[in-house]
Amino acid sequence: MYEAITRGIRVRVNPEFKSEQSTPEENYFFWTYTVEIINEGPETMHLRSRKWEITDTRGHREEVRGPGVVGQTPTLATGERFRYTSGCPLRTPSGIMMGSYQMADEHGRLHDIAIPAFSLDSPYVQRRMN
């Protein structure tokens, strides 16, 4: 599990390789990732948008931006949490994702909330020791 805290918002990410949805012989590797967003801060926060940076082992980088997450824009009061699962395909057996959420506080001020960088590693990765 990967975790980051920004302005009292804790973001936890748990990626999982999906072999049944992957076809390695066609260079198609698929992961799901479950994200939990927990408001541990003093203010209610509203998730407005997301930005993801996805990089494979060949250095191909893709940026994904959009409103909310999985079609939702949750509002989290202190102590509340929101959890969702989404997916990511790659053309290489491993990669990395990172990003941020833009959230608005009770006064409408916008804040960038870090999503921790996390590895996308499949069983097809050849690991090397340096």
Query: Facing residues of 115 across strands?
Result: 99
Tell me the domain boundaries of the chain.
2-121
Per residue in 6-44, pLDDT (tens digit) is 999 999 999 999 999 999 999 999 999 999 999 999 999
* Euclidean distance between CA atoms 71 and 64, whole angstroms: 14
Find how far residue 77's CA is from the centre of its chain: 21
CA angle 100, 102, 107 (to 5 degrees): 150
* The overall pTM is greater than 0.75: yes
Collapse the DSSP code of 54 into the 3-class scheme (helix H, G, I; strand E, B; otherwise coil) and give the result.
strand
Q: Is the pLDDT of residue 130 over 80?
A: no
> Which helix (H) or strand (E) covers residue 52, if one does?
strand 45-56
In CATH, which superfamily holds the domain spanning 2-121?
A: ApaG domain (2.60.40.1470)
**Confidence class for position 124, pLDDT limits 50, 70, 90:** confident
